[in-house]
Structure 1
Amino acid sequence: MGRNKAVGPDQIPVEAWRCLGDMGISLLTSLFNKIWTSAKMPEEWRLSEVIPIYKNKGDVQSCSNYRGIKLKELPWCMIFADDIALIARSTEELNSRLEKWREALEDNGLCVSREKNEYLRCDFDKQEIRQNGDEDIRIGERILDPKVSFRYVGSVIHKSGRIDEDVTHRIQAGWMRWRAASGVICDKRIPLKLKGKFYRVAIRPAMLYTSEYWPMTKAQASRVEVVEMRMLRWSSGKTLSDRIPTRVFRADLEVGTIISKLREGRFRWFDHVRRRDRIAPLKRAESIHVEGIRRWRRPMMRWEDRLAKDLIELGLSEDMTSDRKARRTRIRVED
């Protein structure tokens, strides 16, 4: 039970249950056992207060941009419905799953938003798209609108599998953090080393979020590096016309290259995947074999291709994941 939680209709705070100590635990245990054996919940617990909370996106006057949180009679329970992602190989399979979810949620008093649901069809398999291209994805009687890309858990997923939009999104997130802290970053009274530390802690992580799985090309890496250097120059009160070498800014601010941090993050994720058990979902997803052949002409950069190049550049091998101390020493880079 967490402290400072909102109370339900009974107006009993969580702190009251915590103050009861072992007696409160005994009372709750006895109550829950009776509910479990009788398979019947008290009617008072079905009462709730719905509190609308703004999602920080879209029109504030639109009710669809608010998430309803139900505060119930349960001593510590706060129940709400969050985003759900469904993945299927065919249109028929996805429609079947959507219908099952709709029925299950509506049977329990929840409503599936028809306006905000959307779907993305990956174009990895052209033959599958030609077979199911005319079929619609629908919830009930409403046909969903297809999307070229959509944002999920902080990442932008494109139907082609490319990461250009995701890289752009993370760069924009970094600029938003930089502008929010411009009063500190651009203040001439603050030492450069303190500015560099603030950049490493508050701004750079926003650009590196979810970058561990990026199959980054040289052009995309160059974009990220250019953005970082522009931020560092403005933090130092300099411009390109001053013709100061890049290494001077990094030495004054004590900031390493963002490309090295990107590579370090990829290695950390790679080691995490390698240490997992074979039955773990992450390990099973890595071993999935995609049927078919890669397209003619130059193929897209894959994450494993990017990782193979990193291993060659640092002179490492995949077997080094067993020795964590030696691995960390080799992949660790300065901030």
Structure 2
Amino acid sequence: MLVITSENEEDLQWRVVKWQETLERRGFKVNVDETETMVNSKEGNDRLAIHENRGSIINQVGQFTCLNSTISQEGGCKAEVEKRIKAAWGKGREVAEVVCDKKIQIKIKVKLYRIQTRPVLIYGTGTWAQNEKRKQSLKEQR
């Protein structure tokens, strides 16, 4: 993964072409079909037409996943929060038979939640920018 940042479209275009030319001079080939751009803005609706050095437009995406973490063009991690909640529900379903068993003590059920479900829910949250809405959605799952 490579991140190229810029304050404006013209400079970004120049940097992308320079990057591609430098790689090709060293014997590498950029696969434009596998290359993506993402504009990070508060509105999340900015569109840029970034061209590689042969003229093809590089695909622009609304969200990007790297190292199993997803970020969106709005700069948020809503998709990542939703993914964590879904994964936690999946783990919860795995132990539903135990959790719903009235013969098992509540203490055991809580321990099971703490060691199996909660870690799945909060994995990676230390790198998320927190706001009240996001904190609330995670608290609702506890």
| Same fold (TM > 0.5) | yes
Report how many residues are paired.
Answer: 132
- Deviations 1:165-215 (CA, angstroms, capped at 9, x unpaired): 222222112112222332333333332222211211111111111111323
Deviations 1:114-138 (A, max 9, x none): 54442212126xxxx79xx3333x4
2:50 aligned residue? 135
Q: Choose the corresponding residue for 1:163, options 60, 65, 77.
A: 77
Match of 2:68 in 1: 154
Question: Aligned with 1:157: secondary structure?
Answer: strand
Larger Rg: 1
CA gap of 1:178–1:148, structure 2 versus 1, over 3 A, is same
Matched, 1:201 2:121: no
**Structure 2 counterpart SS, 1:160:** coil
**2: CA distance between counterparts of 1:142 and 1:105?**
18
Preserved contact between residue 49 and residue 58 of structure 2 (Cα < 8 Å): no
Q: 1:201 to 1:95 in 2, by over 3 A?
A: farther
- In structure 2, the partner of 1:36 is none
Structure 2 contact 50–57 (Cα < 8 Å) conserved: no
Report the equivalent of 1:91. 13
Residue 138 of structure 2 is aligned to residue 224 of structure 1 = yes
> CA separation of 1:123/1:218 partners in 2, compared to 1, >3 Å: closer, same or farther?
closer
Deviation at 1:104, TM superposition (A): 4.5
Structure 2, unmatched stretches of 5+, are: 6-11
Deviation, 1:86, is 0.9
Q: Which amino acid aligns with 1:134?
A: A
Q: Is there any run of 5+ residues in structure 1 with no aligned partner, and where?
A: 1-84, 107-111, 229-335
Across the aligned residues of Structure 1 and Structure 2, the Cα RMSD in angstroms comes to 3.0
1:205-251 CA-partner distances (Å, limit 9, x unpaired): 111111113232222211111122xxxxxxxxxxxxxxxxxxxxxxx
Aligned to 2:38: 120
Amino acid at match of 1:221: K
Give the fraction of aligned pairs with identical amino acids, expressed as a percent.
Answer: 23
Structure number with the bigger relative contact order (C-alpha 8 A, sep ≥ 6) is 2
- Cα separation, partners in 2 of 1:186 and 1:95, compared to 1, 3 Å: farther
The change in CA–CA distance for 1:180 and 1:88 in structure 2 (over 3 A counts) is same
